[in-house]
Amino acid sequence: MIKNRILWILWLVCMAGAAVITGTWLFAAVLLLTVLILIFSAGSVVLSGKKAVIKLHLPKASERMECFHGKMYLENQSAWPVFGGAGVLRWENLFTGEKGEIPLSFSLGGKEKQVIEFEAGSNWCGCIRFCFSDWKCQDFFRVFSLKRKADTCAYTVVMPERQKGELSLFTREGFDMESFRYSGSRPGDDPGETYDIREYRSGDSIRQIHWKLSGKLDDIMIREKSFPVDDTVLILAEAFQADRDPQRAETVAEVFSAVLQSFMEKKISCQAGVYDHSTGKFRLEKIRTEEDRENILYRFLRYGSDAKTPVTVREYLKDPGIQNFANYVYITGDPQDKEAELLAAKGEVTIVGCGTGGRDSGGEQVLWKYGSQNPKDSQKQHMENNCPVSCWKLH
């Protein structure tokens, strides 16, 4: 556009100089006509694009490192044409921080509708937000321009690669199966299982006295009943990272998926929880089928990616409901994340730290191979596709 303006200015200067030097009306008439054309062009820019409606459409989900197709629908509700429209379609992976731009240009006749197709893709899983917030309306000669607002956004979710876990957490033996039925951190009122044996305290019910053991020990002993749990494990994953790192984020999503898959295949009763930023509500879902796994993973990436602070545990604790869990699995990619400590009062907590380094907790560490295991894909990304994962129980 700057080049066009310079050329038109030079043309005006030449015509004005020629009219003065030669004194002929021809150059003066050409100069006047040029000025009138420029005035008309400026007026056309003011009138065009006022009633342009722009909408974006993206697929609900797509695969990592594969192109997906999006569409931008344009409609000029005015009879005045849009001679030239130009803007930038900006996108951002809310989960990893990856960003990019796609320049677009178009023209619309009066009352015309048009569809512009574009291709995009991401090297990482997550929720990809596309925004076309403003664009420039230009005249036919590309001399004048005026900004127009669009404010349209669309989202698509890039699902993570499916991986097999190598942590003992993913095995049925990784948990005490008896604790799946009864809480190990709090007494209850179920006489079917004993939570603890202790000495008598003032106020204890006579019905709780363990008569046989009291006779052997020559002291009054109390048998505390167990607290039954409805489901064995609650799995929580936190999308927030103070310093967003795509490798850690990718690993968090894959580990979350792998835990759900492993528990489902081994028929370990579990639920998963996700905080939905769009509604401000915490959602709990039973994981029984492949569809359940995909749905909760989609919700985690789509509605949990836009976190400004770690919120998953806190939102769950605000209203945990009447559901009782004996074990909690907390998956995070933030090295400074201490949210799991808030769960300690409710049950046994297992923390899975993705890319957070080892901790002096006697836990387990593996090198997680994230993403596609095709060597060609790794070469395209110019990086080693592995991330350290630590797993330990909170004491």
Q: Please check whether residue 90 lies inside any domain of the structure.
A: yes
Q: Give mean pLDDT, residues 354-368.
A: 73
Q: Is the pLDDT of residue 169 over 60?
A: yes
pLDDT at position 73 is: 96
Same domain, 132 and 220: no
CATH of the domain at 233: 3.40.50
Q: Is 219 exposed, middle or buried (0-12, 13-18, 19+ CB in 10 A)?
A: exposed
* 126, 305 contact by CB (below 8 A): yes
Q: Is the pLDDT of residue 195 over 60?
A: no
Same domain, 4 and 121: yes
The count of domains in the chain is 3
* 190, 225 contact by CB (below 8 A): yes
Confidence of residue 321 (pLDDT cuts 50, 70, 90): confident
pLDDT at position 379 is: 45
Nearest to 199 by CA among 190, 191, 209, 207: 209
Same domain, 207 and 145: no
Same domain, 17 and 73: yes
Same domain, 155 and 173: no
Q: Give mean pLDDT, residues 190-211.
A: 65
Q: Give mean pLDDT, residues 96-112.
A: 92
Same domain, 223 and 354: no
Q: Please check whether residue 188 lies inside any domain of the structure.
A: no
Same domain, 100 and 203: no
Same domain, 258 and 224: no
Nearest to 369 by CA among 121, 166, 126: 166
For 199-211, b/e burial (b = at least 16 CB within 10 A) is: eeeeeeeeeeebe
Highest mean pLDDT: which of 3-7, 105-109, 231-235?
A: 105-109
Q: Please check whether residue 185 lies inside any domain of the structure.
A: no
pLDDT at position 103 is: 93
Range with the poorest average pLDDT among 1-10, 37-46, 131-140, 213-222: 213-222
pLDDT at position 380 is: 46
Q: Please check whether residue 199 lies inside any domain of the structure.
A: yes
Same domain, 216 and 272: no
- C-alpha–C-alpha distance, residues 272 and 267, integer Å: 14
pLDDT at position 165 is: 67
pLDDT at position 366 is: 86
More confident residue, 142 or 317: 317
Q: Is the pLDDT of residue 38 over 50?
A: yes
357: which 2 tokens? Answer: 């380094």
Q: Write the CA distances from 202 to 75, 205, 213, 242, integer angstroms.
A: 79, 9, 19, 50
pTM: 0.76
pLDDT tens-digit map of 126-167: 999 999 988 999 888 888 889 999 889 999 999 998 877 667
Give the sign of the dihedral formed by CA 163, CA 167, CA 170, CA 171. Answer: positive
In the DSSP assignment, the letter for residue 164 is: -
359: which 2 tokens? Answer: 């901790």
Block residue for tokens 């879902």: 285
Confidence of residue 361 (pLDDT cuts 50, 70, 90): low
In the DSSP assignment, the letter for residue 162 is: P
Q: List CB contacts of 290: < 8 A, sequence separation 6 or more.
A: 264
Same domain, 378 and 237: yes
Block residue for tokens 């009291």: 214
Q: Average pLDDT of the chain?
A: 82
Same domain, 258 and 135: no
pLDDT at position 181 is: 47
- C-alpha–C-alpha distance, residues 141 and 107, integer Å: 13
Q: Give mean pLDDT, residues 240-250.
A: 89
Residues of the chain with pLDDT > 90, as a percent, come to 36
Domain span holding position 222: 195-228
Same domain, 359 and 386: yes
Q: Please check whether residue 183 lies inside any domain of the structure.
A: no
In the DSSP assignment, the letter for residue 161 is: P
Angle at 360 between CA 357 and CA 361, to 5 degrees: 105
Q: Which one of 159, 186, 206 terminates a domain? A: 159
CA dihedral (29, 30, 32, 35) in degrees, to 10, reads 170
CATH of the domain at 49: 2.60.40.10
SS3 readout for 55-89: EEECCCEEECCCCEEEEEEEEECCCCCEEEEEEEE
The side-by-side arrangement of strands in the sheet containing 68-76 is 52-57, 68-76, 113-120
